[in-house]
Structure 1
Amino acid sequence: MLHARLREIRKSKGLTLQDVADRVKPDGTTAQTIGRLETGVRTLTIDWIDKIAGALDVEPADLFAFPHAGDILIDGAVTASGSVLDQEEGLLPLRPTMKNPVAVRFLENMGQYHSGDVVVCEQLTQETLHRAAGCDCLVKDETGRRHFGKLFPTREADTIMLAPITASGSIRASLKVDMVAPAIALMRSLSH
């Protein structure tokens, strides 16, 4: 099933309804018309698809979500020690609202996480790393190894401390990281 992504794309570009309306070629349109196209009150014809795609500076196909498009890869498995094994674990059929999602599956119970849980994390940029302080995070160190634990900043600007989720894990102090992704969502099977 298709659904229009007009609002999602417009908001991700920081545009108002009026901004998009003004960009429609050749003569523009009204903010009300754009709103009606976004909500489905007005039919999104081929002509409108082309106009809106041009106004948003995207390909026409980008205006729609197709089944399995945007799935999040579960690309690792967290062990009891907090290490992340490099193994593909499947796909989450979600349309993420975050820019760089990554997910891991837990192999064993670890604190609040149960065996089989999938945690979706959002990769941060250097400018937004401060948001990860005190959060459960997936991190990749400078050697390429991945770990999951509670992140704490250190006095050194380019290092962190990663506390284990369980007693069987180990504290990783003065860890230099290439990637930090705090946990954003927990997916748990209802059968557990």
Structure 2
Amino acid sequence: MLTRIREVRKAKGLTLHDVAVRCAPPTTAQTIGRLETGTRTVSVGWLNRIAAALEVEAADLVTLPDRADLPVAAILGADGPAAPRKPMTLLAPTPGGAMVGIIVDVAQGDYRAGDALWADKLAPEDFGRALNRDVLAPRPVGRFAFGRLVATDDGRVQILPATPGARQVVIDAPWIAMVRQLVRSL
């Protein structure tokens, strides 16, 4: 079976050790390396463990005949564009379990009109994961607050809006959505 474990790991900016520690139960970087290179057979169990550690679907770690992969033509580095040393592909964004989408209609902060934001929906006990990240939080009567999460305390969040000069918003939120991925058409 051809796997894409190394490609996915590198696309997420993780080391072999990072993935090994994230596995449940943890394993060694050497084992992950052997699974990546094919010197050790990848079972369905290993595929599921590594997928969970990388926060992707197990199907993202194997080459499937019915899925079109996007080949990497160049890598933009400090010395300019260069061809990859070996064939690489990009992962297409796929929605996870509790995700929501946000469409930017008018430019705000770092976001341009037409941007699509993919966000992970978090429960109050996980709000700390989103500190200093952009979030969407529900407000009463179908309204929302959007901006940088600057503080959280027992379900109460403090959000600094992306609009210059806007005042900080403090609200009780049953959930927040932390921006994970930006999709921008040029």
- When normalised by structure 2's length, the TM-score is 0.51
How many residues align? The count is 140
- Report what 2:81 is aligned to: none
Runs of 5+ unmatched residues, structure 2: 10-18, 50-56, 69-90
Return the letter of the residue paired with 2:59.
F
Out of 9, 26, 33, the residue aligned to residue 15 of structure 1 is 26
Q: 1:166 and 2:151 equivalent?
A: no
User: Contact 2:124 / 2:155 at 8 angstroms: preserved in 1?
Assistant: no
Offset at 1:123?
3.2
1:107 CA displacement: 0.9
Cα deviation digits, residues 54-106 of structure 1 (max 9, x gap): 46777xxx6432538xxxxxxxxxxxxxxxxxxxxxxx93257x875443221
How has the CA–CA distance of structure 1 residues 64 and 56 changed in structure 2, closer, same or farther, with 3 Å as cutoff?
A: closer
Alignment correspondent of 1:94: 93
The residue matched to 1:64 in structure 2 has which SS? helix
Matched residue type, 2:24: K
Q: Secondary structure, in 3 states, of the residue corresponding to 2:174?
A: strand
**TM-aligned CA distance change 1:41 to 1:146, over 3 Å:** same
Amino acid at match of 1:124: L
Change (3 A) 1:187 1:148: same
Structure 1's unaligned 5+ residue stretches are 19-30, 69-91
User: What's the % identity of the aligned pairs?
Assistant: 23
Correspondence 1:99-178 to 2 at 5 A:
100-141=98-139, 145-153=143-151, 157-166=154-163, 172-173=169-170, 175-178=171-174
Cα 1:132–1:39, aligned 2, differ >3 Å: closer, same or farther? closer
The reply to whether residue 53 of structure 1 matches residue 49 of structure 2 is no
Q: How far apart are the structure 1 equivalents of 2:45 and 2:38?
A: 21
Scaled by the length of structure 1, what TM-score is found?
0.50
